[in-house]
Amino acid sequence: MKPDYVFCRKAAIAFFSVRHKMYAGFEIALKKELCFVKKEQIEADIYVMTGEAFASNSTALIKDDEILLIDALASSKDAETLRHFIEDELKKEVRFILCTHFMSDHMAALKSFPDAQIIAHENYRQTFASQRSLTDEEASFFVEPTITFSDKIKMKWGRLTLDIFHNPSHTMSTIGVDVPEADLLLVGDAFFGNTVFLSSAGVPEQIRGALKYLQTKERSRVIPGHIGIYDNKAFENALFYLNLLQKRVQNARNSSDGERSILEISIEDCLAPKLTASEFEREFHEINLRLIIERKLFLPQSEVCLN
Ligand SMILES: [Zn+2]
């Protein structure tokens, strides 16, 4: 998600204040040290943790005394919570960390497990460098991966098979991880709640293609980079938002008020029917509108060339 864009930090702060309210039941837990915002055990050998910073997700796949971790949360505090949970409570050792994309909001715990092999797509460095506004703490999360790949890898991890495939969308290093035995699909930041975040480099056509491909997997459990667990309907909702956003932008450009009226497009005019926007989705929708103007997105190709 976001630290790749200058407007994102402010939005993220607002997002967290909102998320804390939304997770009212977890307020007491948040006041303690080393607690996740949310932790779900979806199978005997699979945990999904949601950290406090950016509500980033991390998924732990257990095999005997070892763990394969997918994504590594967004802050040093969340990283320590994760290390404490895995090493002190579960008493397991992290053997591999698989990065769905190389952005700092998914990398905080890479240094918490120094003996782990770190797996990432070969475009990892370009993605990390594309982030525009990292704090010193976030910049310090960078670790060279020990294993990189270009197209796909298949891994056996205990009873689980991991089909790992390059699926560029929000970043050029984004991968997907299909785990058939667990009816589980991990997708990085391919969608964001019921929307998509266009980011400073995301190409709408590529995002659309990635979402459609992920949808064909038809998994019941889908874990994106943030917030928690979704289902296959998430792809339809994200595509609905992206398609309608494009249509609204084109209508705005053709209106008498022109380009500036893009900023007046409401999220309600873009969400799939019966969905309600959360505050954080609203914040990122507004960032998307500014990005569309700045990056000249959704222009006909001939007009893009002229600019
Ligand atoms: Zn993210």
Distance from residue 45's CA to the centre of ligand 1 (Å): 24
Both structure tokens of 95: 């053997």
Q: What is the pLDDT of residue 132?
A: 81
Beta bridge partners of 67: 62, 94
Phi, then psi, of 170 in degrees rounded to 5:
-65, -30
Distance from residue 254's CA to the centre of ligand 1 (Å): 33
Distance from residue 164's CA to the centre of ligand 1 (Å): 18
Q: Does 7 or 55 have the greater pLDDT score?
A: 55
Q: Which pLDDT tens digit goes with each residue over 76-132?
A: 999 999 999 999 999 999 999 999 999 999 999 999 999 999 999 999 999 999 888
DSSP code of residue 214? H
Distance from residue 186's CA to the centre of ligand 1 (Å): 13
On average, the pLDDT of the chain sits at 89
Average pLDDT of span 266-284? 93
Distance from residue 133's CA to the centre of ligand 1 (Å): 14
Q: What is the pLDDT of residue 199?
A: 85
What's the pLDDT band for 3 if we cut at 50, 70, 90?
A: very low
Distance CA 270, CA 264 (A): 12
Q: Which pLDDT tens digit goes with each residue over 20-40?
A: 434 434 444 444 567 888 999
Q: What is the pLDDT of residue 211?
A: 98
Distance from residue 1's CA to the centre of ligand 1 (Å): 3
Distance from residue 173's CA to the centre of ligand 1 (Å): 12
What's the pLDDT band for 133 if we cut at 50, 70, 90?
A: confident
Distance CA 293, CA 224 (A): 27
- Amino acid sitting at position 290: R
Distance from residue 56's CA to the centre of ligand 1 (Å): 7
Distance from residue 283's CA to the centre of ligand 1 (Å): 15
pTM of the predicted protein model: 0.86
Distance from residue 73's CA to the centre of ligand 1 (Å): 9
Q: Which pLDDT tens digit goes with each residue over 218-271?
A: 999 999 999 899 999 999 999 999 999 999 999 999 999 999 999 999 999 999
Distance from residue 305's CA to the centre of ligand 1 (Å): 31
Hey, what domains does the chain have and what are their CATH numbers? 8-297 (3.60.15.10)
Does the pLDDT value for residue 303 go beyond 60? no
Average pLDDT of span 1-23? 39
Distance from residue 257's CA to the centre of ligand 1 (Å): 34
